[in-house]
Amino acid sequence: MTEAIRLGLLRLSDAAPVIMAAETGIFAAHGLDVSLSIEPSWANIADKLGYDLLDGAVMLPPLAMACALGLRGRATAMVVPMSLSANGNAITLANAWQPVFCSGAAGFRAGIAAAARRPVFAVVHGFSTHDLLLRYWLAAAGIDPDEDVELTVLPPADMPASLESGKIDGFCAGAPWGQVAQAMGVGFIAVRSSEIWRDHPEKCLALRADFAAAETARTQSLLAALREAAALCADPNGRPALAALLAQQKYLDLPAELIERSLDRADGGPVFDLNFPVPEHARWFAAQMLHWNKMPESALPMALALYRPDLYLAAGGSAPARRVELFCDGA
């Protein structure tokens, strides 16, 4: 009997395609038995991939690179055959920062410099889109992310409470956790990631390379199923039903109304129908990791080889009909 495909995910709105495929029978319709593993942190997912406790995961591209390169934990050969979401993150600040933030970049920079201690900003992982986008945003305001502030790592679900307690001054996380902080009255969304880089790649499907190589047929069926699920998630008419699905206790365990707001593309919510794994996106992530001394230059070829559009095309996917927007276009 064929063992179930083991996929890891966090409690985030942009895990929607995997949840949709599991809950609506799309995986089963493609002949797949898929077991979802809800994890508390990205570190858990990376470790379980490294020790062959997961076959794949809804993943952060920089973390997939770090796993493949052995930059955190056991080196684990990975492939990224599909993008699952774009946009969807937000930088949320404690309410006390609103006056200086609203005074513009110079005022915010001055407020950072005048603080009694270095402000603490949380990201979901040291190897994450959140970390790289937050660093870019801070640097664009003249704030050195390594000297002027302190960056720390927290699971996204812990961030609103940490903001409320004063443990952190702000955070960058995926939906719906910025909206949760606002609903709690403990912070405000300062900037959405789509305002930093419009339609930036966010979560991807990352698979262990040995699984993808040994399970060619099931890998192709998995990609086809997730492409079908992503199309359903992208339908604005299906947003209430999708929010209700994600609101279940075993997934986000949050009010459906709040989740539905976090899915609004017009408000910076995740985009689910940009699924082609664009090699230029891998190059941008790798270049930023080099810039911030998060990987050695010698690792660049292996990092770029992680993205596998050939697998996506072999599974019936197609290349983008329009030119893919790179970072410089949306910055």
pLDDT digits (tens, 9 = 90+) for 286-308: 999 999 999 999 999 999 999 99
Angle, helix 42-50 to helix 61-69, in steps of 10 degrees: 40
**For 67-71, 105-109, 323-327, which range has the lowest pLDDT when averaged over its residues?**
323-327
Average pLDDT along the chain: 95
Closest CA relative to residue 68, chosen from 277, 300, 280, 288: 300
Residue 231: how many CB atoms within 10 A of its CB? 15
Q: How far is CA 140 from CA 137, 207, 331, in A?
A: 5, 34, 10
The pTM for the full model equals: 0.93
Tell me if residue 239 falls in helix, strand or coil.
helix
pLDDT value, residue 330: 38
Can you tell me the mean pLDDT for 262-277?
94
Given a cut of 50, is residue 328 above it in pLDDT? no
User: What is the C-alpha separation between 30 and 70, in angstroms, rounded?
Assistant: 34
pLDDT value, residue 320: 84
Q: Which residues contact 184 (CB under 8 A, 6 or more apart)?
A: 160, 164
Domains of the chain: 5-86+201-330 (3.40.190.10), 89-196 (3.40.190.10)
Given a cut of 50, is residue 329 above it in pLDDT? no
Residue written as tokens 């052995």? 70
- CA angle centred on 71, ends 67 and 76, rounded to 5°: 30
Which amino acid type is present at position 311?
Answer: L
Can you tell me the mean pLDDT for 78-82?
98
